[in-house]
């Protein structure tokens, strides 16, 4: 998705775009996990704590995309133009 859609839409340099793309993916995963699969109740999070992944997942995904996906892209030769 990043190469196909996000690299031309998101602002900034490659690092910022990767962080933003990862954060968007993390937010989508958190929304699905909370509202569709109901993982917080399975894990035991109740009340307002059940929405904690809406903050944590985008941060974690953004950092993972920057630290893992960027080196993998460089390794396989996928570079931004």
> What is residue 48's DSSP assignment?
G
What pLDDT does residue 59 have?
A: 92
Tokens representing 69? 């996906």
Residue 36 inside a domain? The answer is: yes
Q: Are 3 and 78 in contact (CB under 8 A)?
A: yes
What pLDDT does residue 71 have?
A: 86
Residue 8 inside a domain? The answer is: yes
Q: Which residues of the chain have pLDDT under 50?
A: none
Residue 81 inside a domain? The answer is: no
What pLDDT does residue 16 have?
A: 83
Q: How far, in whole angstroms, is CA 25 from its chain's centroid?
A: 4
What pLDDT does residue 17 have?
A: 81
Q: Residue 66 to residues 22, 26, 28, 45: CA-CA distances in angstroms?
A: 8, 13, 18, 29
The residue range of the domain holding 69 is 2-76
Residue found under tokens 């859609």: 5
What pLDDT does residue 80 have?
A: 61
Residue 13 inside a domain? The answer is: yes
What pLDDT does residue 6 have?
A: 65
Q: Are 62 and 6 in contact (CB under 8 A)?
A: no
Residue 10 inside a domain? The answer is: yes
Residue 49 inside a domain? The answer is: yes
């Amino acid at each position: 998705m990043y190469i196909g859609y996000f690299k031309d839409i998101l602002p900034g340099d490659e690092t910022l775009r990767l962080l933003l793309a990862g954060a968007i993916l993390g937010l989508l995963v958190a929304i699905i996990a909370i509202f569709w699969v109901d993982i917080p109740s399975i894990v035991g999070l109740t009340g307002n704590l059940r929405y904690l992944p809406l903050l944590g997942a985008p941060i974690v995904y953004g950092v993972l995309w920057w630290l893992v996906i960027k080196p993998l892209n460089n390794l396989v030769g996928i570079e931004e133009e």
